[in-house]
Amino acid sequence: MMKISAVFIEKEIENHALTNDICARINAPVRVVESLKAVYAYVNSSDDPVARGKQTLVLSRNKGAFIKDCPGTRAYNCCGYEILHLASFCHMDCAYCILQTYFHPPVMQYFINHEDMWPELEQVFKRKRVSRVGTGEFTDSLIWEDLSNLTQQLVQRFSNQDRAILELKTKTVSVDPLKGLDHNRKTILAWSLNTEKVIQSEERSTTTLAARFKAASRCVAWGYPVAFHFDPIVIYEGCEPDYQAVIRQLFSYIPPESIVWISLGTFRYIPALKQVIQERFPTSGIVYHEFIPGLDGKMRYFKPIRMNIYKKIVGWIKAAAPDVCIYFCMEDDEVWETSLGFAPLNAGGLPEMLDTAAMAHCGLAVPAVGTAENQKVRG
């Protein structure tokens, strides 16, 4: 649950009905500001601006687009995911989180002007192809449930169309508001998974692995399709039997036929993040390994090391669920071919792979994969 110590409201949405509703739910000092400069000054006055930012809520207007393309790179296979940018940052505190350096400084920012968002979504629903949309790129999808019922509204909006799916990515167990909704299988609940050691040492203020599986199991019972993301996979002594144990536990809770996809991605970081981790997580060892710069400028494990752990995890998953869709997050064809046995292009491309999985599990009515209409440029 969020612990909010200060609330800043951008003046132009001071009298917005949603602003008033959210403030009524929070017991913290409230300040109206002309610009976010005052917020940055407040956060930066702390010895740990990132920690203070996790307790600072900013209510503001999204002045740009709500629907954005995932910030991938042409050097690696990108999934064609689209971001529904509703909010930024998170109150949980993971050592590896890129958001610690992505925003300057990072604060818990929630956009109020939902009236500008709905028309953008309607345009997505009118497309004659699959659209995979998620809210979990710049924040955790389910941490805002105590402040707003937007997630429930989104689930209901997506349920009334058959061209797009909504993926809600989380490390929480805040699924109670989703019970009883007529979701029509157009919403996928997705959890980030890791070993118990990584969760305990690198993921402060998150839920346990067992709690995540129990929440996922409840969602399956309510008819939701689910997904799982092993990202970042962290290399350490003894990590292989630990990840194998996570996979055994996963399939003890979740039937394979309920899983839309599972993604794999090893720990990678922009160079600026290393110092942040060293200062904020002095006991963490995740940056003390053999890394080299990748084609995207991020520091990565050597490719043979990545492929070795990928092959093993893929084997463990396939042994339990031979038909489940597995994909790599931001890896090249060599990694795919060595670790999974094929390159995405062999399956029509990574976006088409995931579109097919979404159609199979979510009942989408769109042109078949490979048709001219479904091959349109995304965005």
Q: Give the residue-averaged pLDDT of 290-295.
A: 92
- The HSE-up count of residue 29 (CA atoms within 13 Å, CB side) is 6
Range from 38-47, 79-88, 218-227, 294-303 that averages highest in pLDDT: 218-227
SS3 percent helix, strand, coil of the chain, rounded to 5, is 40, 20, 40
pLDDT in tens, 134-160: 999 999 999 999 999 999 999 999 999
Domain assignment present for 158: yes
41 is a domain residue: no
Residue 109 covered by a domain = no
pLDDT higher than 70, residue 378: no
User: Which segment of 62-71, 84-93, 208-217, 263-272 scores lowest on mean pLDDT?
Assistant: 62-71
Domain count, the chain: 1
- Where helices occur in the chain by DSSP H, the ranges are 17-23, 37-44, 49-53, 99-102, 114-125, 150-159, 196-202, 209-221, 239-253, 271-280, 303-320, 333-340, 350-362
The answer to which of 7-11, 115-119, 292-296 has the lowest mean pLDDT is 292-296
Closest alpha carbon to 325 in 300, 293, 298, 362: 362
pLDDT given for residue 372 in this prediction: 40
Domain limits for position 176: 64-84+116-375
ω into 256 cis (within 30 of 0) = no
Q: Are strands 299-301 and 56-60 parallel, antiparallel or unpaired?
A: unpaired
Instruction: Quote the pLDDT of residue 376.
Output: 41
pLDDT in tens, 172-205: 999 999 999 999 999 999 999 999 999 999 999 9
pLDDT in tens, 16-42: 999 999 999 999 999 999 988 999 999
Residue 17: inside a domain: no
Q: What is the DSSP-derived secondary structure letter of residue 364? A: -
Taking 80 as the threshold, does the pLDDT of residue 74 lie above it?
no
- CATH (domain of 215): 3.80.30.30
Does 31 map to a domain?
no
Task: State mean pLDDT over 92-115.
Answer: 91
Q: Which helix (H) or strand (E) holds 229?
A: strand 226-233
